Amino acid sequence: MLSKCVKDIPDTDQLYVIMMNLLEDRHVAIGKLGSFLFHKGTYIYVGSAKKNIQARVKRHINKEKPTRRWHIDFFSSNTSVIGFITFPHHKGECQLKDFIQKQFHGTVVAKGLGSSDCSCDSHLLKINDVDNDIDKLCLLQEWSEQ
Ligand SMILES: [Zn+2]
């Protein structure tokens, strides 16, 4: 569901989508993957947490991170979070990524980012800029209703 606050995320949800805005073109080193040039714009990250999804989302939307644990940490610390949406089923992580990629013409900047455990090119997508980014998160609700 599309929650306004982290505390409203249902405990049973296991999938999350974080929408971020990068304000300027920037080279970012993503751990061992190397350095990539990210163009300014809107990015979507798809991840999963088998438990404690509130804590996970909270961690992603906090700019300051005590440690850089995941690839996405290297990127997200450069961005402003626009919003997030969560879903119940954990197994659909890659299908959700595919759906977003098609729906929003998502492109991959850093191959391998967030997809160490699957065969996807990346779980971070740059999406086309439009005026109402947050509406795109609402559109994603349809995915879980399919
Ligand atoms: Zn995947």
Beta bridge partner(s), residue 16 = 47, 86
Q: Give the Å distance between the CA of 95 and the centre of ligand 1.
A: 8
Q: Give the Å distance between the CA of 89 and the centre of ligand 1.
A: 14
Q: Can you give the pLDDT at residue 120? A: 96
- The rounded average pLDDT for each run of 10 residues, N- to C-terminus, in the chain (146 residues) is 84 94 95 94 94 93 80 92 88 90 92 93 87 75 71
Q: Give the Å distance between the CA of 142 and the centre of ligand 1.
A: 20
Q: Give the Å distance between the CA of 65 and the centre of ligand 1.
A: 24
Q: Can you give the pLDDT at residue 67? A: 80
Q: Give the Å distance between the CA of 123 and the centre of ligand 1.
A: 6
Q: Give the Å distance between the CA of 115 and the centre of ligand 1.
A: 5
Q: In degrees to the nearest 10, what's the CA dihedral of 128, 27, 65, 82? A: -20
Q: Give the Å distance between the CA of 108 and the centre of ligand 1.
A: 12
Residue with tokens 């997508």: 125
Give the span between the Cα atoms of 65 and 67, in whole angstroms: 5
Q: Give the Å distance between the CA of 80 and the centre of ligand 1.
A: 24
Q: Can you give the pLDDT at residue 89? A: 78
Contact 113, 72 (CB under 8 A): yes
Give the span between the Cα atoms of 7 and 5, in whole angstroms: 5
Q: Can you give the pLDDT at residue 143? A: 76
Q: Can you give the pLDDT at residue 30? A: 94
For residue 15, which of 74, 44, 57, 43 has the smallest C-alpha distance? Answer: 57
Q: Can you give the pLDDT at residue 21? A: 93
Strand spans (E) along 2-135: 15-22, 26-30, 34-38, 41-48, 80-87, 124-127
- DSSP-derived letter for residue 33 is G
Q: Give the Å distance between the CA of 111 and the centre of ligand 1.
A: 12
Q: Give the Å distance between the CA of 119 and the centre of ligand 1.
A: 6
Give the span between the Cα atoms of 74 and 56, in whole angstroms: 16
